Chain A
Amino acid sequence: MKTLFSRRNVLMSAAGVVVVGGVAFEASRVLRKRYAPSPYDDLLAKLDDRDGSAQIGEAVLAEIDDFDAKTAAAQLRTKLQQASLADIATADAAAERLVEAHGWVLPQTLGLLCALAAKAAA
């Protein structure tokens, strides 16, 4: 009686998995939304949803006069080299560093990242 787990079948299955995986990986790479390069891409990589963040950022920018993207980016880089976004955002809330976006109360660091996403998308 022939077994399903013959050497030939196992090798073919493994090859199949590799091929399907490779195609899926390449497809996601090709199909992934591409953004024009911006000076803040290293920072924006911290955000799960760059388009959504840009929408939030538009609302943040409406609340901040004279937003200086370069200065904000520099400050954010320094901060994010020292701790995770989660820890910094939590510390922002604890220290009353907040911004508003359409009434949503956000940790300042997140708000500024979103503002940079909006600038990058502009």
Chain B
Amino acid sequence: MSAFIDARTVPDGTVLEPDLAIVGGGPAGISIALALANTPLRVVLLESGDMSFDPATQALYSGNKTGVKYLGLEASRMRFLGGSTNIWGGWSRPMDKIDFEERSWMPHSGWPFGLEALQPHYARAQTLCEAGPWLYEQAEHWSQSEMPTVPLGAGGVATRWFQFSKMRGSLLPTHFGERYADDLKKVRNLTTYLHANVTRLGLAFNGGQIERLDVATLSGRHFALKPKAVILAAGAVEIARLLLASNDVAPAGVGNANDVVGRYFADHPIPRDIGTLILFDGKLAPYYLNTQTTHGAILRAGLFPSEGYRRSKAMLDSSITIESKTLLDALGKTTVATTAAALGVDAGKATAFTLGGGCEVTPDPDCRITLDSARDALGMPRVKLQMKLSDSDLAHFRATLKELGRQLLAARAGMIRLNMKERGQWLTGLDWGNHHMGTARAHVDPKKGVVDANLQVHGVANLFVAGSAVYPTYGAVNPTLSIVAMALRLADHVKGLLK
């Protein structure tokens, strides 16, 4: 068992020569490190933070932002072991087949691999996320026997299921750093350095591979690694920053010959109170409003557009959650009573619920991370984020909500009010998922992507990217489970490459 090493104690000028360096100790980096346990590879995991929050380390994340109101770059991620799992909500769900496909209605869509590439890794990812047995849509069978799902007429929206990560007891969800620290220490071929900030990716003069990583600590120590391969697992913003800032050999930055690095940044918009759902009989199964534990899993139901609907109507993805009971104004009451009467049903017990949710956005090359002239305490350029959100993407979400309303009417079960129409309404109180995606997108064509199907940076033989930075499109589900599945796939690839 090897304890973690505090990089502030590493002598200046030290040069480490591992087989693999993993930059970033979040869910992707930790999953890769664990997947490579007990292999012949000598692995180093470099984590900027410690085991808990430190303001000075967290301040390395600060940057500027323009455009649509967005969370502070410091607030939406965590810079200590476990990364952003230290603040995630534990919502887990795999991506759909359609998420990986090139879609005529979505510019820049199409992954260089399909869902089948991740499927062998989802089970292990589910275990690492501690999200319980793989139930998801199987929960439908259980729900029907206990209390039925919301009755919906034939159409594009259906009940589907989230599962939740649970660390132990009532501690929810799994914080990867705290949860796996002891496991990492037990890995004989792994050395984990805390307080170790990579400040430069040293390209060989021919630009074809990384031959050196420069590491610095906030206490002023400097050392280096000369690894055979490097995996960047530091989150979409930091990965873009590192690639762009490492511009001594390639002036545009590493992997940025085609000006793609930092572009296509995305997050899931989470607008609040997007609609009001009415159930005429007032009966709503409790698993829509709160998590329910069953069959060893923590579950919550949501309402999702089906793949068939997304294809036939050229729609983006979204997820709709039923949040809480609410009251109607006089016109709302009249509308519900009048509609129920017209449908020939009793609305004496009609109940109203607020709706929330999140939606997919269209990849936008101008939604991007660039470097600022300001520098952080380590001398690294800070980032600038240009954040955007298109009206068209919001219109897709609204259309799916309307489809849900249509299905409720067709089933004579209820109805819906769409609370959002104008852009200003959507943006008022708009929240975000803190799901940083894009910036080093995967694409077979180096002109359209930073990494290839194996998540190797185009043109740089020994540099790989893990995490949602590689997402070319974003779906609408929370990314952590898929980040871990992709990280495990990458670990398999690198293991084969370096053996």
Contacts and interface: CB of A to CB of B under 8 A. Distances in A.
The finding on whether chains A and B are genuine partners in a shared complex, rather than unrelated, reads: yes
| Dominant SS among interface residues on chain B | helix
Contacts of B154: 94
A101 B335 contact: yes
Contact of B405 (A46, A56, A105): A105
Contacts of A48: 337-338, 341
Interface stretch (B189-197, B291-299, B416-424): B416-424
Nearest to A114: B338
B406 A104 contact: no
Contacts of A94: 153-154, 410
Interface string B132-158: 000000000000000000000110000
Contacts of A105: 402, 405-406, 409, 415-418
Contact of B344 (A53, A59, A86, A92): A86
A98 interface: yes
Interface residues of B, number: 28
A43 interface: no
Contacts of A85: 342, 344
Interface in A47-64: 47-49, 52-53, 55-56, 59
Interface in A26-50: 46-49
Q: Which of A48, A86, A89, A105 has the most CB of B within 10 A?
A: A105
A50 to B, nearest CB: 10
B334 to A, nearest CB: 4
Given A89-B343, A94-B153, A105-B409, A52 B337 contact: yes
Contacts of B345: 86
Interface in B326-343: 331-332, 334-335, 337-339, 341-343
A98 B415 CA distance: 12
Contact of A110 (B339, B407, B418): B339
A99 to B, nearest CB: 11
A55 to B, nearest CB: 6
Contacts of B405: 98, 105
Interface in B360-402: 402
Contacts of A46: 342
A86 B342 contact: yes
B175 interface: no
Given A49-B337, A86-B412, A93-B153, 13 more contacts: A48-B338, A56-B335, A89-B343, A90-B343, A90-B410, A98-B402, A104-B339, A104-B418, A105-B402, A106-B415, A107-B339, A107-B343, A114-B338
5 contacts: A49-B341, A86-B412, A98-B402, A100-B418, A104-B335
